[in-house]
Amino acid sequence: MGRIISIANQKGGVGKTTTAVNLAASLAVAEKKVLLIDFDPQGNATSGLGAEVELVDDPQREYRLKSCLTTIKDHFDYVIIDCPPSLSLLTVNALVASNSVLIPLQCEYYALEGISQIMRTIELIKAKLNPALEIEGILLTMFDSRNNLAHQVEDDIREHFKEKTFKTVIPRNVRLSESPSFGKPVILYDVHSRGALSYMELAKEIIIGDRS
């Protein structure tokens, strides 16, 4: 059965799309069958599912994506959903359809405060719509090892979320920032870059985690 993982955080600029694209590519390089869904309303993937406005009057609106994925998910090892940067009806649809949610978190001030809202949403989804939803993990992104604050944020997150925090940390990396302008995941743009290596490590953590 395909495992469906949403990449979600209501805050923009935390590396959500970067993570969705590069995790999907890294899983594919590991010879996994992967489907990447762009669920941002500015993307094209939602056009076949009905835009968010059309969902509002649907009595089964929270389950539309889940219904669409039911017939195809087992053709893949992983389905990765890039959620919009908000806790909208589209994000709710993604979380209802998912086995787990991966939360990218930028290593910056107030990081812990920023994550509380998505955690509350996950608990509500578990309570009312998808009791099986799990937290795949907290992913620390845009980590600058020269910055003392980044280390403090990492320490705080690991102390608070413990084993729910991925061992892998995504660094600030020029190649990682450049790759979208070339229309490539970083693993195809510069496989030896720190950005590429870190996403391959993340893919490995997720694959191994599924076997435990």
Predicted structure pTM score: 0.89
H or E stretch at 81: strand 78-82
Q: Which residue has the higher pLDDT, 22 or 47?
A: 22
Domain boundaries in the chain? 3-211
pLDDT one-digit tens code per residue, 187-205: 999 999 999 999 999 999 9
94 contacts 6 by C-beta, under 8 angstroms: yes
Residue-level pLDDT at 39: 85
Dist. CA 22–CA 200, nearest whole Å: 8
Residue-level pLDDT at 137: 96
129 pLDDT exceeds 80? yes
User: Helix (H, G, I), strand (E, B), or coil: what is residue 150?
Assistant: helix
Q: Which residue has the higher pLDDT, 202 or 111?
A: 202
Cβ burial, residue 1 (10 Å; 0-12/13-18/19+): exposed
55 pLDDT exceeds 80? no
Distances (CA, A) of 72 to 3, 65, 75, 140: 11, 11, 6, 31
Q: What is 3-211's CATH number? A: 3.40.50.300
The band of 113, judged by pLDDT with boundaries at 50, 70 and 90, is confident
Q: Average pLDDT of the chain?
A: 87
5 contacts 49 by C-beta, under 8 angstroms: no
